[in-house]
Chains A and B, each alone.
Chain A
Amino acid sequence: MIISIASGKGGTGKTTVATSLALSLQSGVQLLDCDVEEPNCHLFLNPEFEKSQTVFTPVPEIDKSKCSFCRKCVDICRFNVIALAGETVLTFPELCHSCGGCMAVCPEDAITEVGREIGTVEKGRVNNIDFVYGRLRVGEAMSPPLIKKVRSYIQNDKINIIDAPPGTSCPVIAAMNHTDFVLLVTEPTPFGLHDLKLAVEAVKILNIPHGLVINRSDMGDTKVKEYAEQENIPILLNIPFDRKIAEAYSKGRAIVEQMPEWKDKFLNLYARIKKITDQGAEQR
């Protein structure tokens, strides 16, 4: 089972929900933080790390002694990675999407692939929870390859919880795609509603069952609730604003650690998700 936790808007409480859900389930669970630009889950779980892996993406290196300046690599590259001026060939590896086209067309075998460092993946454990997260190198633009690397750690026999980045573009899609359920976390404000609608569109394109958590549910208006009812999106959990929760969060403490009474609510949230995905499996 893979549950991804997403939201169009940043700061709605994805990390809060992801960490509290994992801590409530206690075992047979793995949390994967795919918000690689700004990973935060580890700050709440404080896992013991046992493995760190530097992640590279392949980029071209041109052997100038073999290059015949035929321009084929320049012509195939849609990302302007290779520039040729007379007999000078330059590469801009930070623009490379690692498609391998240049290497495939080079008649001289002058192109080999070397790695561009995109970040690191760290794997650890806390109590019985497995934890994996990616950390994008500062200055690196492309997060999807790193997100895919984090996802390669998914364990099929466990409940995998993915904390996705905010927004609706490629990094979010990389984190949500091919998951069994998307839990959308929003807040009942005009910004929350606007960005939720975008996220729902994205989830619909991917055709994944989804439900809603409304955080700070008593601070704002009723429009998110009305929208969810109108779109038949189940509201699986409401988390009212509580300064105690906000202060605990600021110190790096998960809700369920600060207020153990929340544990049952998160277990209930999981039970509802499981029921929805089981029903979906039956219908298929």
Chain B
Amino acid sequence: MKELVILSGKGGTGKTSLTAAFASLSENKVLCDADVDAADLHLLTNPDILVRTDFKGGGVAVINKDKCTQCGTCIELCRFDAVDDDFNVNEIECEGCGVCVDLCPEQAIDFPIKTCGQWFISNTRFGPMVHARLGIAEENSGKLVSLVRQEAKKLAETKGFDLIITDGPPGIGCPVIASLGGANALVIVAEPTVSGLHDMERVAQLAQHFKVPCMVCINKADLNPEKADAIEKIAREKGVKILGRIPFDPDFTKAMIQTENIVEFNKDSNTSRVIKEIWDKIMMSSAINN
């Protein structure tokens, strides 16, 4: 079984639109939305949720006023300034480290485990999909990313599917690191802009750091062909496989508004043809075939 993770570094380069297009072009796979912080893949796949499970994160400190003697130990110990002078814990600031809980001389602090999101197993017109919804302003997005990827793997094994296509989060931090460990290959969606180039380099560095093979495709390539050349040059220098160039196409937005991916929207368009070529290249790559 192989897992392909779509990343970009920079947000808004077209990861989800491409993931959804790949969903149309492939067979026998599980879709996985690992962008738990702002999941959007379900907006193009209309999932029918079959199983809904709470995601338990860490604990959060709650001071029991009846037991609290206002000695100030917790205020002194808390490095996150989460306890105010009236001995209330600010949930947003609380890191869930539990130091105040363990060291309160009165044992006046409870540490209830928070439900900080939900994850889902769904059916879609492209086959099964695992996705999640992290609660607003919650931590542990890395943990939830690992969980949805694990569940997608389980599902693929049970169904005998040999491919998982994972839509990854933006950036290079905690959720992204959680989304690439153990993946067989990454596809980086870059855009030909100074930002796109800069962020693509950082995510490619991250892939090297964790020794995951990566490939790159350029979306909105005709907005700046020179920058597209520059991206390909860097890719070549880093030994990153170049998959192709997708033109800037308003059809992406039009398709999204109809809750379709671009291949469904117009399978004979030039853009759809290019995406199919890119998909075939991915499927023929050594990272997927080894």
Report which A residues bind B (CB closer than 8 A). 8-12, 15, 36-38, 40, 43-44, 75-76, 78-79, 97-101, 104-105, 136, 138-143, 165-171, 173, 177, 189-191, 194-195, 198, 201-202, 205-206, 219-221, 243, 246-247, 249-252
Contact = CB atoms under 8 A, between A and B. Distances in A.
Nearest first, the 8 A-B pairs at minimum CB distance are A11-B12, A10-B11, A99-B97, A37-B171, A250-B224, A252-B194, A101-B99, A167-B37
B206 A139 contact: yes
A92 B138 CA distance: 23
Contact of A37 (B13, B80, B103, B172): B172
B142 interface: yes
A249 B102 CA distance: 52
Interface stretch (B153-161, B197-205, B233-241, B271-279): B197-205
Contacts of A98: 79
A138 B205 CA distance: 7
A221 B257 contact: yes
A142 B174 contact: yes
A76 B103 CA distance: 9
> Residue among B142, B192, B199, B205 with the most chain A CB within 10 A?
B199
B97 A105 contact: no
> Residue among A99, A169, A191, A219 with the most chain B CB within 10 A?
A169
B40 A38 contact: no
B276 to A, nearest CB: 23
Given A11-B13, A98-B79, A190-B43, A43 B257 contact: no
A165 B205 CA distance: 20
B38 A205 contact: no
Given A136-B173, A168-B38, A78 B253 contact: no
B112 to A, nearest CB: 14
Contacts of B138: 169-170
Contact of B11 (A9, A97, A205, A251): A9
Contacts of B102: 75-76, 101, 105
> Residue among B77, B137, B141, B202 with the most chain A CB within 10 A?
B137
Given A11-B10, A101-B98, A168-B38, A40 B103 contact: no
B47 interface: no
Contact of B223 (A78, A136, A250, A252): A250
B171 A202 contact: no
Contact of A143 (B77, B169, B173, B248): B173
Given A105-B103, A251-B194, A252-B194, A138 B172 contact: yes
B137 A78 contact: no
Contact of A76 (B95, B98, B193): B98
B259 to A, nearest CB: 7
Interface residues of B, number: 62
B256 A169 contact: no
Given A15-B195, A76-B99, A101-B97, A165 B253 contact: no
B136 A201 contact: yes
Interface of B: 9-13, 16, 37-38, 40, 43, 58-59, 77, 79-80, 92, 95-99, 102-103, 134, 136-139, 141-142, 169-177, 191-196, 198-199, 202, 205-206, 209-210, 220, 223-224, 227, 248, 250, 253, 256-257, 259
A9 B16 CA distance: 11
Nearest to A99: B97
Contacts of B13: 10-11
B198 A170 contact: no
Contacts of B171: 37-38, 143, 165-166
Nearest to B97: A99
Nearest to B200: A38
Contacts of B177: 139, 141
Given A194-B43, A250-B224, A141 B174 contact: yes
A82 B209 CA distance: 23
Contacts of A136: 172-173
A43 B40 contact: no
Given A43-B194, A99-B79, A195-B40, A140 B173 contact: yes
B257 A40 contact: no
Contacts of A36: 173
B38 A167 contact: yes
Contacts of A105: 102-103
Nearest to B91: A205
A220 B257 contact: yes
B79 A169 contact: no
A250 B136 CA distance: 32
A137 to B, nearest CB: 9
30 contacts: A9-B12, A9-B38, A11-B12, A37-B176, A37-B202, A38-B10, A38-B171, A38-B172, A40-B199, A75-B102, A76-B98, A76-B99, A78-B58, A79-B97, A101-B102, A138-B172, A138-B202, A141-B174, A169-B137, A170-B139, A190-B259, A191-B40, A201-B136, A205-B136, A205-B137, A219-B253, A243-B223, A246-B248, A250-B224, A252-B193
